[in-house]
Amino acid sequence: MQLILIRHLPTEWNKKGILQGKQDIAIMDLTEEYNKEIEKNNKIIAKHGPISTVVTSFLNRTQQTAMAHGYYTYQVDPLLNELDFGEFEGRDKSQLIEVHGDKWLYDPKQLILGERLSDFEIRVITFIEKYRNYKNVLIFGHGSWIRACVSYRHYGSIDNMNKIEIKNNELVVLDFSEKLI
């Protein structure tokens, strides 16, 4: 199974460094720069062969990003929803780092924000297992979720997720056909 993951296009909150989590913030108007990135993403997607299924979260920003890429038919799966940041939603990310910096970077599964990050990891793994029989899964997702998935694929857990950067509209391809480390 191959996952083709695209982080949603930017929102006003992304530009300001504000944590969104489960808040349903719309994407910004598309610029020529983002339209070029979308075109580039679509060429990469085409190189990976036919898409088995397209999946978004319940939040509009992932669905709007799917449609901006030309994918108007998709499944909505709550397993793909962004991390619930609890009291930090709507606040600058630096405040989360100030309060939970070391754990956030080095031991995120010890944190409980709006949800336990250990439960968040289970949600990511459950998603991977649910779609294991598909060949190419195109995912329009969220920053924390994609970083957790990348960390899980490369390190066997989400422990390194917050040392990874995934920009808005960035495309990442992960191959899950081989055994994890």
Q: What is the pLDDT of residues 112-163, one digit of tens each?
A: 999 999 999 999 999 999 999 999 999 999 999 999 999 999 999 999 999 9
Whether residue 7 is annotated as binding a ligand: the answer is yes
Is 8 tagged catalytic?
yes
- The phi and psi torsions of 26 (rounded to 5 degrees) equal -75, 155
Structure tokens at 23: 């808040």
User: Of the residues 82, 89, 100, 121, which is catalytic?
Assistant: 82
Measured between its terminal Cα atoms, the distance across the chain in Å is: 16
Instruction: Report the CATH superfamily, name and number, of domain 11-137+155-170.
Output: Phosphoglycerate mutase-like (3.40.50.1240)
Is 154 tagged catalytic?
no
Sign of CA dihedral 16, 29, 36, 75: positive
Kindly report the pTM of this predicted structure.
0.94
pLDDT digits (tens, 9 = 90+) for 2-22: 999 999 999 999 999 999 999
DSSP strand E in 18-114: where?
53-56, 75-76
8-state DSSP, 16: H
User: Of the residues 8, 69, 100, 142, which is catalytic?
Assistant: 8
